[in-house]
Structure 1
């Protein structure tokens, strides 16, 4: 017998004004390349999303991130939205081990929410490639792409427990504008079952 237990996860709604943003230098470490959006890369975005989020807090908050099929569905939904912003959608490819062993290891997408506003979706970096500045590189590339198409207000949501992401967003100019709580269902198996 399983009982469901609910837990509330604290999340921040963060926003930035791109009209006031001073873009930092866009740099990735040696052996990493930014790959712009192309519809043929939908599956690659889904795979990177899955490998980035599986087993983490965001996969608990959003169960679709815990399964490859869920990530495929999510990526298909994002690219089908009227407001999808291809200019702000990127992959990071690691080619440091040679092009035959290249792998995708970072992803970001954006969706326009109004004429001059957009939301960043699912910034993800695969665990083996974290701590190298790839998340910052993805964000800078995405924000520059949004500027290119006239977007001036950008928002995102982040789980408060993900301190490194919150700090990165703050360093780039995002400010917390609202605190949200999302109910997360946790399965509990009683002792002796």
Structure 2
């Protein structure tokens, strides 16, 4: 930690985000919203509106990069118990450079190192060019390649595939959350994604993860009709879930697909995914996206066989500070 604390980098062109008002940040957020739409077919406006509200309340920890008397870039972080999440980092196209992206990132990490309870920082930033190169504090960094995949529903291969006779699939209900959290905590033991997001490692963390999906717009607006659970009739235990959201008027997103390891290899994951995709199609969606860790080849194969294609790669980063 001493190396991260050794130097404060804030300079004349970088200020605390609390010194910035929402009007000054508005052009940046408008550009970022358009980039998300053009690049990922994702409506970023709800997330941008939340940022604006917290900026007005002076409630976001972060930094703004200034150029030509205007806000050229920004980053902010949020806290969850012992860790921090870098919620966003974006620099406007006309000012963007990997150097300045890294300066913002480095300043954020140095500041977080001074927060007593914070020992871990996670980020999954899809809109930074620096992700392909060297990032700050590489000696404390674990980095995982991820893919943003997209499916054109018209081209989707969605033939039904019955799971085992003992498996029943039903629509998602709020009452399923406790059992779904137990499934996630058990299914991700030893899984690469538990290295990226440590909420997968415990029951309380899995509960928080599900709460975030249902309540907050980071992964879109939760779409209950496109979400399903699978139960093993013999044991009475939940053995699979597929959760969906809407990220634009005609675009859906698969926020979670999880199957009990004991049930894998029999088509349950595919059938849960298929049901979610069909429900999104009936809701008027033309495209569906998801993200996947590149080393999770079993999942990548399933998605590719269904018709998903990778349209963007990005890094999931974890710093132990």
Normalising to structure 2: TM-score of the pair?
0.53
Residue 5 (structure 1) aligned with residue 140 (structure 2): yes
Q: Return the offset for 1:15.
A: 0.4
Tell me what 1:90 maps to.
228
Residue 57 (structure 1) aligned with residue 192 (structure 2): yes
Query: Which one has the bigger helix percentage?
Result: 2
Structure 2: gaps spanning 5 or more residues: 2-118, 120-138
Cα 1:81/1:26, change in 2 over 3 Å: farther
Residues 110 and 119, structure 1, Cα contact 8 Å, conserved in 2: yes
User: Which of 139, 142, 145 does residue 279 from structure 2 map onto?
Assistant: 145
Q: Deviations over 1:48-83 (max 9, x none)?
A: 122221321001111111111111111122222462
Q: Deviations over 1:15-58 (max 9, x none)?
A: 00113324212421221111211111121222212222132100
Tell me what 1:130 maps to.
264
Q: Return the offset for 1:185.
A: 3.6
What is the root-mean-square deviation in Å for CA atoms of aligned residues? 2.0
Cα 1:81/1:163, change in 2 over 3 Å: same
Tell me what 2:51 maps to.
none
Residues 161 and 267, structure 2, Cα contact 8 Å, conserved in 1: no
Normalising to structure 1: TM-score of the pair?
0.87
Residues 49 and 122, structure 1, Cα contact 8 Å, conserved in 2: no
Residues 48 and 105, structure 1, Cα contact 8 Å, conserved in 2: yes
Structure 1: gaps spanning 5 or more residues: 188-193
Partner Cα separation in structure 1 for residue 269 and residue 319 of structure 2: 28
Q: Return the offset for 1:84.
A: 1.0
Greater Cα shift, 36-45 or 8-17: 36-45
Aligned residues: 182
Cα 1:178/1:150, change in 2 over 3 Å: same
Higher Cα radius of gyration: 2
Partner Cα separation in structure 2 for residue 7 and residue 22 of structure 1: 36
Tell me what 1:191 maps to.
none
Q: Which has the higher contact order (CA 8 A, sep 6+)?
A: 1
Q: Return the offset for 1:156.
A: 0.5
Partner Cα separation in structure 2 for residue 25 and residue 147 of structure 1: 15
Query: Which one has the bigger strand percentage?
Result: 1
What is the 5 A alignment of 1:70-81? 70-81=205-216
Tell me what 1:154 maps to.
288
Residues 121 and 156, structure 1, Cα contact 8 Å, conserved in 2: yes
